[in-house]
Amino acid sequence: MSTSARRRSGRRALLLGTVAALALGATACSSSGGDPLGGSSNSAAATAGSTAGGGSGSTVVVGSANFPENVLLGSIYSQALKAKGVKVEEKFNIGSREVLYGQLQNGSLTVLPEYNGALLSYLGAKASTPTTGDVNAALAKTLPASLAILDSSPAEDKDTLSVSQESVDKFQLKTIEDLVAKAGEFTIGGPPEFKTRQEQPLKDVYGLTFKEWKPTGETTANAIKDGSIQVGNVFSTDPKIAQLKLVPLADPKNLFGAQNVTPLVNKAAIGAPAVAALNAVSAKLDTAGLATLMKKVAVDKEDPSAVAKEWLKANGLD
């Protein structure tokens, strides 16, 4: 299954969402790279401190989906928890959101690296606006009482419409809106489901009608580079963006919305030390940094656990 399909199978502003008596803080952050904790992590840890996990000797089970970035994030979470004395069991590469969500609900998993917008979509709900804050507010209202999100990181792995540097220079492209004058001459590519899901929204939001849609899947970035398509749906942490010198166009109308990396937890199995450790990770993780880590994993073929360990040490979280 492609990364796009996994993210959509279900995938800036500060906010604290309060859910039930054992609620955890659902704090949104500005993707400008500011502090995503906003002073809320202490209160989140305090309310979770009465639960069993992380603070009283029980084991926190960290899971991940079956794609490299999620495994990497799972390893970062796991090692950050261990560094704070939390007993951890790792269950990585499990599968899709459909499987993972059920395991989190029944307590088989305690912590999962999620993408807030994709999770909200999976739950069949919508935010009043596609910003991080409103997405997290909607999640706080939608999640069952047993589950909660912790602080969202500034890091987003989200849809982009990307073009080559040559196209930027030739056509003066900076935003998706700038494609209006040339879309009728451009071929756009992406995962097989991209046309079905985004053709009408691109018309409605930006007035874009492309010459042709091609299902380019995992080869989208290369297709942009070799000119077989002029615009492509590439995810923001894909290392090929830097490797092939592609340019993601700005999305001023928030067509794609927030996709912040956000821990989803089973509240009954996680305590204050674990909450604090995970929120500390979110405070340090940003999109550019995640893209750099993914280059090491996906291009340089380094071990995700070793990459996670190196990142935690560099950020003072080991």
Asked whether residue 289 falls in the same domain as residue 307, the answer is: yes
* pLDDT for residue 51 is more than 50: no
- pLDDT tens string 252-274: 998 888 999 999 999 999 999 99
Asked whether residue 72 falls in the same domain as residue 150, the answer is: yes
Range of the structural domain that residue 96 is part of = 3-156+258-314
- Evaluate whether residue 253 is within a structural domain: no
Q: How far apart are CA 64 and CA 100, in angstroms?
A: 8
- pLDDT tens string 147-163: 999 999 999 999 899 99
Q: Is 254 exposed, middle or buried (0-12, 13-18, 19+ CB in 10 A)?
A: exposed
140 vs 34, more confident: 140
What's 249's DSSP letter? Answer: P
* Contact criterion met (CB below 8 Å) for 229 and 214: yes
**What is residue 43's predicted lDDT score, i.e. its pLDDT?**
30
Final residue of a structural domain among 202, 218, 248: 248
Average pLDDT, the chain: 84
Q: How confident is the model at residue 215 (pLDDT cuts 50, 70, 90)?
A: very high
What is the domain count for the chain? 2
Strand partners, 148: 265
Among 84-88, 141-145, 253-257, 293-297, the least confident range: 253-257
**What is residue 5's predicted lDDT score, i.e. its pLDDT?**
43
Asked whether residue 133 falls in the same domain as residue 267, the answer is: yes
- Residue 222 sits in a domain whose CATH number is 3.40.190.120
Strands 261-266 and 246-248: unpaired
Amino acid letter, residue 107: G
